[in-house]
Structure 1
Amino acid sequence: MTTVSPPPPAPAPESASPRRGLLRPSSLQLRLTLLYAALLALLLASVYGAALVLMRSSLTTGLDEGMRNTYSQFSELVAQLALDSPATEQERDKEGVLPRARTLFPNDAIQIEKLPFVNHQQLLTRLGSAQQPADRVQELQVVRSQLTKYRYPVTVNRLAPLELTDAELLNLIESPTGRIFVARQIREPYSDKTVPYRVLVTLAAVQYAPRPIVSLGNATVDLMPLPVLSIIYVGRSVAGIEDTLGRLQRVFAIVMLFGALLAGTLAYVLAGRALRPLQEVRQAAERIGGQTLTERVPEPQTGDEVQALARSLNAMLGRLEASFEAQRRFTSDASHELRTPVTAISGHASYLLRRTNPGGQERESLNIIRSEAERLTNLIASLLQLARSDSGALTLHPAPIFSRLFLDDVSRELAPLASGQGSELRARGPDIAFEGDPDRLRQVVINLVGNALKAGSRTVTLESSEQEGGREVRLSVRDDGPGIPPEHLSRLFDRFYRVEDSRSRDQGGAGLGLSIAKGIVDAHGGRIWLESEVGRGTVAHVQLPVGDVPVLDEEDVP
């Protein structure tokens, strides 16, 4: 069923309504809060990212410096370790680790490989002369075979030695500094657990044997053995760095969370204070309607755009008030001025019909004149009532009303009109006491029933029901007429609007009835709306506050 002007929910107190509005996602205060919180979160994330990068860089630099120191110390001890001797091989434990080296370098993974038959320049020359990728791979395989043959684990498990890929080996050989850093998973000593390591790989000439001193007569000769090109691996675990960075991440996550919550709370409070004048302007603007144009929105003395907006709104309200007042005055004055001549026209037409004996054509013309004069009189009366409603001068005389008795009276009053059209009027529903102007509300219900009868309804039902937990009463007029097309529903309460212009004009309708009814219902603080479906009929609802109904004894109830 199509509806028009559905009843809004019961208005909340003024103190609660703004708060509920501020919690909507579209609230400016909430959007500012989210914006400030997002900006702070972005700032904290940037600081966190920079701090994490700096911390990782600092820790990695310290780790690299420690590995370089270990390399310098180890390279000087290679000759003392005598890695080539059978005695050294017998010292190794079951994993191939040298206990002496483990004692000297407990936190480092060390391995050395040597290339005994080539120097660095010869390696570069051989690799440079390899024109084809396959030739270069073959040269690398020759180098790798020598490295594998002359590999000496020092503090690394011989079953899981450190090895370079072809790309890493080539990068090491061609590096100007002769060193690179690689990442590896290394098995911890005497355990199957692997740990991430950062490994310093250095290509350098290393002295493998001590310098022998030979006596020749009264002189001694220091014989310098030739150094051998070697690759030395020195690695250290990065688990401590990752653990430190992980703790840093957790701390920053907590800081970001509480920082965002604190910033959001402060931003919400500050934005609320900043927007409070605007909220007051909005509340005042919502209270102002066509009948309260004399009111003005408060002008906060903030000296900013909000004060300028309030001043502009008040200036606009002043212009609207003047324009509305001019329209009301014109309507009222014109109606008063037209009432006398229209009454005279109707009176003269009635006089001629009663006192003269006009012919058939003359009588028909006089009847038309009198009928149109009466229609114009009703139109003038409607315009006067609308003018009073617009100006707030519509006077109400509230009194206790019993809904069922009220509808029964209207049904009895309109029963002859309905039976004359072959229609039936029914009234049903509980008898609910409420406060209202009986005459004005009777005018509203009569108008709604009249519209239903004009539409050709065979049965019109008047109903009363209790709403909003007994705080409101609803009067409904239900018919089984043809219904109203959806394209007309949104304009039914506009003045002078008729669904079917020619038929309404023939039946005396000026298109003001629903406008007048709405003005009366609004004056009662109620709501009026329609529900309609083409081919199934229309339901008109009038919902009114119960008001201050005095407690009545049983004998007071008619």
Structure 2
Amino acid sequence: MSLSPRVIAFLLACMISVVPVIFLTFVDDVTNSMLFVVGLSSFAISFFLVLYAIELLVYREVDKMYKTIRQLKIRDFSLSRKAVIRDDNPFKKLNAEFFVYVTKKQKEIDELKRLEQFRREFLADVSHELKTPIFAAQGFIHTLIDGAVDDERVRDKFLSKAAKSLDGLDALVKDLLALSQLETGEIKMNFERVDIRSITQEIFEQLEEIAEAKHTQLRLRTSLPGPIWVKADDQRIRQVMTNLIENAVKYGNENGRVLVSLEEDKKHIIMSVRDDGPGIPPEHLSRIFERFYRVEKSRSKDRGGTGLGLAIVKHILSAHKAKITVMSKVDKGTTFRFKLDKMD
């Protein structure tokens, strides 16, 4: 026989009702009718009280716990703690605390797994990125040691290539150090009043040679007159704008155009850097700010860079309490946009 709430209530009610009936049999002048009424009323009251206690206070809440466990198994964390915590029923409180605790631990486990996966990928990426310039420099130097140093033309050529590889290694190490310091908060932002229009024009001048090599036009568009003042760290915001504009030139099309727009709202200056290049496929957009992530690894290598630029940009802007967004369409181009606080 299945021990359902009704069966348990029936058995307990029978045992409870027998007690007063047996007691009354020892009392004088008690009739069978009185014993029947007492037994029946005791059974009915006991049955419904026990049924209520078991059904509502125990079985129903245990069933909720079972459903909670099923939710956790299928990773459904949508149950609201407030929906079940406002009750004096200890089973409901237990159910709520159980769900909240397990949900918290599961999320911690997921985060640890994600960080472990990230650590493995990062170590693999760093090893790969360091290996390339080191092996290249080693090859050139060993070739010179093996006798090529006597040929002046070969010697100069190989030393130049070795120096270029070591310069790339130096840039990678500096970017890794900068990124690490940004993440740990070691680099403090020195906020001041800076003219973002002037900074943009200076960066255009610095990148003029790269742009001319690709026949790319650099354009600044704004309806704001005179200097455009924002609250920022001058050095770091130059790093952000240089990285975005240089990427737009490098990854844009030949004979293309890079457009930097400066607009304003009530409290901010809105900056966007747009190119008319091949664009970024949708499946890559969510990952382009990760360290060493490259949309097209073979082509990215040819264009140089450490693969850390956008990660550094994201952290610098986060320190400015700003969020960078990216919009891109294949064969239409890519636009990066962020806001900085406006200053008078």
Quickly name the TM-score band, shorter chain normalised. Answer: 0.5 to 0.7
* Offset, 1:427: 1.1
8 Å Cα contact 1:436-1:524 kept in structure 2: yes
Structure 1 residue aligned with 2:178 = 385
Q: Distance in 2 between matches of 1:318 and 1:478?
A: 34
Equivalent in 188, 206, 209 of residue 416 of structure 1: 209
The offset of 1:456, in angstroms, is: 3.4
1:485 alignment counterpart:
281
> Does residue 363 in structure 1 map to residue 161 in structure 2?
no
The DSSP-based 3-state class of the residue aligned with 1:526 is coil
What SS does structure 2 have at the residue aligned with 1:478?
Answer: strand
Cα RMSD, aligned residues only: 4.4
CA contact (8 A) 2:192 2:233 kept: yes
> What residue is the counterpart of 1:513 in the other structure?
309
Q: For 2:261, give the aligned amino acid.
A: E
Change beyond 3 A, Cα 1:311–1:497: closer
Task: Indicate whether 1:537 and 2:338 are aligned.
Answer: no
Q: Report the Cα offset of residue 28 of structure 1.
A: 2.1
Partner of 1:501: 297
Partners of 2:211 and 2:186 in 1: CA distance: 34
Structure-2 change in CA distance of 1:358 and 1:524 (3 Å) = farther
**Aligned to 1:464, which of 259, 262, 270?**
262
**Native 8 Å contact 1:484 1:533 kept in 2:** yes
Asked if 1:451 corresponds to 2:247, the answer is yes
**Structure 1 vs Structure 2: percent identity of aligned residues?**
31
**3-state DSSP of counterpart to 1:28:** coil
The Cα offsets for residues 152-180 of structure 1, whole Å up to 9 and x where unpaired, read as xxxxxxxxxxxxxxxxxxxxxxxxxxxxx
How far the C-alpha of 1:524 sits from its partner, in A, is 1.1
Q: If each structure's strand is expressed as a fraction of its own residues, which one has the higher value? A: 1
Higher helix share: 2
Residue 496 of structure 1 deviates from its aligned partner by: 0.9
Matches within 5 A, 1:263-278: none
Query: Structure 2 length as normaliser, TM-score?
Result: 0.58
Amino acid at match of 2:171: N
Looking at CA atoms only, which structure, 1 or 2, has the larger radius of gyration?
1
Helix, strand or coil: the match of 1:477? strand
1:399 corresponds in structure 2 to: 192
Are 2:93 and 1:28 equivalent residues in the alignment? no
Give 3-state SS (helix, strand or coil) of 2:304's partner.
coil
User: Aligned letter for 2:176?
Assistant: L
- Counterpart position of 1:194: none
Deviation sequence 1:280-299 (CA, Å, 0-9, x none): xxxxxxxxxxxxxxxxxxxx
SS of the residue corresponding to residue 527 of structure 1 reads coil
Moved over 6 A (4+): 313-320
| Residues in 1 aligned to 2:300 and 2:314: alpha-carbon distance in whole angstroms | 19
SS of 1:511 mapped into structure 2: coil
Distance 1:528 1:31, change over 3 A: same
Cα gap change, 1:472/1:309 in structure 2, threshold over 3 Å: closer, same or farther? farther
Residues 433 and 312 (structure 1), Cα distance of their counterparts in 2 relative to 1, 3 Å cut: same
Structure 2: distance between partners of 1:444 and 1:359: 42
Equivalent residue, structure 1, for 2:54: none
Residue 524 of structure 1 corresponds to which residue in structure 2?
A: 320
TM-superposed deviation, 1:493? 1.1
1:462 aligned counterpart, secondary structure: strand
| Contact 1:518-1:528 at 8 Å conserved across structures | yes
| Contact 1:527–1:544 under 8 Å retained in 2 | no
Q: Is the 8 A contact 1:525 1:545 kept in 2?
A: no
C-alpha displacement at 1:402, in angstroms? 2.5
CA distance in 2, matches of 1:361, 1:28: 72
Retained in 2: the 8 A contact 1:466–1:472?
yes
Deviation at 1:432, TM superposition (A): 3.8
Paired with 2:161 and 2:207, the residues of 1 have a C-alpha distance of 25
- Which whole-Å CA distance do the structure 1 matches of 2:218 and 2:270 have between them? 18
Q: Retained in 2: the 8 A contact 1:404–1:428?
A: no
Q: Residue 404 of structure 1: CA displacement?
A: 2.1
**Distance of 1:530 and 1:402 partners within structure 2:** 24
- Structure 1 residues 309 and 32, CA, compared in 2 at 3 Å: closer, same or farther? closer
Kindly provide the amino acid, as one letter, of the partner of residue 242 in structure 2: I
CA contact (8 A) 1:407 1:463 kept: no
TM-score (norm: length of structure 1):
0.37
Aligned-partner Cα distance in 2 for 1:307–1:27: 9
Contact 1:478–1:539 (CA under 8 A) maintained in structure 2: yes
Matched residue count: 244
8 Å contact kept, 2:274–2:336: yes
